[in-house]
A and B are shown apart, each in its own frame.
Chain A
Amino acid sequence: MKKLAKKISALLLAVVMIVACFAACGKNNSNATLKIGGIGPITGPAAVYGQAVKNAAELAVKEINAAGGINGMQVEFSWQDDEHDAEKAVTAYNTLKDWGMQILMGTVTSAPCTAVVASTKEDNMFQLTPSGSAVESIAADNAFRVCFSDPNQGIASAKYIGTNNLAKKVGVIYNSSDVYSTGIYNKFKAEAENQPFEIVAAEAFTDTTKTNFTTQLNKIKAAGAELLFLPIYYQEAALILTQANSMGFKPIFFGCDGLDGLLAVDNFDKALAEGVILLTPFAADATDEKTVKFVADYKAAYNNEVPNQFAADAYDAIYTIKAAAEKANINSNMSVSDICDAMKTAMTQITVTGLTGTITWTADGEASKDPKTVKIVDGAYKAM
């Protein structure tokens, strides 16, 4: 009987311990730190983007802390994985809330960002996404972004092709199952009507049919396109360039920021990328002082890896938070909601000169900056 009592009490204790595991810890916000959280995929197919954002954000935080922090507060940065999934992103957000996050820098990809924005709006938490580019990703007034929105990229691309008179007949290949790609394509198509060129063929592919593009390329070639617009990511673009080359189709290739990373694809003949034009906010071999320093620091910190535009967006995002927090005079004793209200006002007043250009914000959260175009010459990006 005694043994049984022991067993039962052990069981009870175990239950108490498990419950304690789930219970919230008391908030211990020491007053000299500002807690910034980050969310993005560091596992799964979109891990490249999340990893770049995480690395660059940590680099920026380290620099800021070494230089004395924000308003004298040291910055604590915590990163949570969302596997590029809306459900996991909300869970990651809740985890960061338990940790005591005061400002959110994220999320990296569009669809999870839209899901998280609904939660940050409820909590009135300030959110700045480095690269969530869908229109809905910053639907709430507490959310801002560093990158261009998808429609803006589509419009800017069409305008660039039109004003520089690159071609009269344009073909498009886009990913109809991807938010980013369809978002750009739809606006590109709308803006094309105002421009002196004509879309002669628009061909789609989906995530499950992204290995063979010969059908699409043949149609576009038959339609006589002089320029091929590729609002897609670089993995597929590398295949398209290879396949177009093997069938002797040589139009001008024009892409958006998703093409950044093209030169780093394994087993890809870089010579094929010669002359590809892309609209991107960042080129790693630009010669301005800021970019040179960032690239050198990033390479030194992360195995000689060259930072992509996601990294640049994230680096700018952290410095934007710093600028806005200083403008709003944030201190760590303020509640999350008070910080958010102060930051919201400050964001529309600041101007940040970052890696991706000189940026100002409007109250709807959109960043306004000049689009940059780069051309691949001799296996490297050259600003145009």
Chain B
Amino acid sequence: MKSLLQKKSTRNNLITYGAVIVFYAVFQTLATTGSLKSLYKGLLVPICAYVILAVSLNLTVGILGELSLGHAGFMCIGAYSSVIFSLATHETIKSDFLRFLLALIIGGVCAAIFGIIIGVPILRLSGDYLAIVTLAFGEIIKNICNVLYIGYDSNGFQVGIKDSSVQLAEDGKMILKGAMGASDIPKDSTFTIGIILVLITLFVVFNFVDSRAGRAVMSIRDNRIAAQSTGINITKYKLLAFTISSFFAGIAGTLYAHNYSILTTKKYDYNTSIAILVFVVLGGMGNIRGSIIAALILTVLPEILRGFSEYRMLIYSVVLIAMMIYNSSPKLQGIKEKYSIKRILDAKKRAKALGENEKEAE
């Protein structure tokens, strides 16, 4: 056990798990005792979804080193596939938990399948080209979902891209109504499930990064030619990272969609993709814990600023700029080091060591 703890990455990962669990414990206690404002109570599940999105995108952007602007597209696939499943089986599967579990798997797997389909051709591209193609992919997914009409009756499912192409019998029920999306979605998402999903995501991503495959992926990021010359199958590892990333985006989409009773494509446009990218950039490329903190802060911040009413979004952008500068400016490094938590902890250790030394001297 001790040798395990001595490894720096393991220790770091444990701190992250611990922080997530402490966050859960504090807010779950506050929520169950009724002392948490409903504003923050309502934000808990979206925060979990955004954290999963940020962590999974960090796998593509930070670890694999490829810029993807289509993360909301995968989220959209997860959301739509799982909502179609949930609405279709709303009557047949009575257990909410079982249905939601299956919905999560379906959402994740569908997104992963699309990740592979999209990944095979586009991962041959890199840099700006990849960014633009993923952006286009996200928009395509959004527009397809926007025209889908799906309904079912006793004769089975009907799918069409026009209102008139779905003609249901008397007992039929529409699931998706084109631009109107889906409504009456069972609200199955809970904070507890959200946190469990965050922990699973962290577990998979941390272990992936530490694995042989993860090292191969990072070597591709650092020097593609060197990696290729050592016999690493570039396409395979790129695709692996991209697929895992899209799988978790699908999971996050499922979690997010089942938190609201309505689903429309508006949420899954490039603005959301960019918002997730902002979480990753602010948190630091490749820094998983940073992504979590950034997702948390940037989701809560606009709500804290509600007091400023009309000026809210203006102040939000100014704060965002300030945070980005603070995080990346070399001139501010000194201030950051002086007031970091790490330093306070180190100071504690040093003081302890000093105390022990004094005792020995006595």
Contacts and interface: CB of A to CB of B under 8 A. Distances in A.
- Real binding pair: yes
Interface of A: 1, 4, 7-8, 11, 19, 22-25, 42-43, 79-81, 83-87, 90-91, 93-95, 97-98, 111, 114-115, 117-118, 134, 136, 139, 175-179, 181-183, 186, 206, 208
6 contacts: A24-B38, A118-B260, A136-B262, A179-B181, A182-B163, A206-B143
Contacts of A97: 38-39
Interface stretch (B63-71, B237-245, B306-314): B306-314
A208 B139 contact: yes
Contacts, number: 122
Given A43-B312, A176-B178, A182-B180, A118 B30 contact: no
B266 A85 contact: yes
A91 B259 CA distance: 12
A378 to B, nearest CB: 36
Contacts of B43: 91, 94
B345 to A, nearest CB: 10
A347 B35 CA distance: 34
Contacts of A83: 313
A353 to B, nearest CB: 33
B267 A206 contact: no
Interface stretch (B53-61, B115-123, B347-355): B347-355
A177 to B, nearest CB: 5
B37 A22 contact: yes
B184 interface: yes
Nearest to A112: B262
Contact of B26 (A19, A25, A183): A19
B16 interface: no
A148 to B, nearest CB: 17
Contacts of A81: 306, 309-310, 312
A257 B267 CA distance: 25
Chain A interface mostly: helix
A8 B343 CA distance: 12
B262 A95 contact: no
Contacts of B309: 42, 79, 81
Contact of A95 (B27, B39, B313): B39
A8 B345 CA distance: 9
Contacts of A93: 42
Interface residues of B, number: 45
Contact of A87 (B30, B46, B139, B348): B46
Given A86-B260, A111-B181, A115-B260, A95 B306 contact: yes
B344 A7 contact: yes
A257 to B, nearest CB: 18
A91 B304 CA distance: 11
B39 A91 contact: yes
Interface in B226-247: none
A23 B312 contact: no
Contact of A1 (B26, B303, B351): B351
Contacts of A4: 344, 347-348, 351
Nearest to B146: A177
B303 A91 contact: yes
Contact of B41 (A19, A43, A94, A186): A94
Contacts of A87: 46, 256, 260, 267
B268 to A, nearest CB: 12
Contacts of A98: 37-39
Contacts of A134: 180
Contact of B344 (A11, A19, A42, A85): A11
Contacts of B35: 23-24
Interface in B8-38: 26-27, 30, 34-38
A190 to B, nearest CB: 9
B165 interface: no
Nearest to A117: B261
Nearest to A87: B46
Given A4-B347, A81-B312, A94 B262 contact: no
A179 B182 CA distance: 11
A85 to B, nearest CB: 7
Given A11-B344, A81-B312, A179-B264, A22 B178 contact: no
Contacts of B351: 1, 4
Contacts of A24: 34-38
B302 to A, nearest CB: 8
B182 to A, nearest CB: 10
Interface string B248-269: 0000000010001110111100
A86 B146 CA distance: 16
Contacts of B355: 1
Nearest to B183: A136
Contact of B179 (A7, A23, A176): A176
B267 to A, nearest CB: 7
Interface in B273-314: 303, 306, 309-310, 312-313
Contacts of B256: 87
A42 B310 contact: yes
Given A95-B39, A177-B179, A114 B139 contact: no
Contacts of B181: 111, 179
B267 A86 contact: yes
A172 to B, nearest CB: 13
A124 B42 CA distance: 17
A81 B307 CA distance: 11
A111 B37 CA distance: 25
B147 interface: yes
A208 B266 CA distance: 12
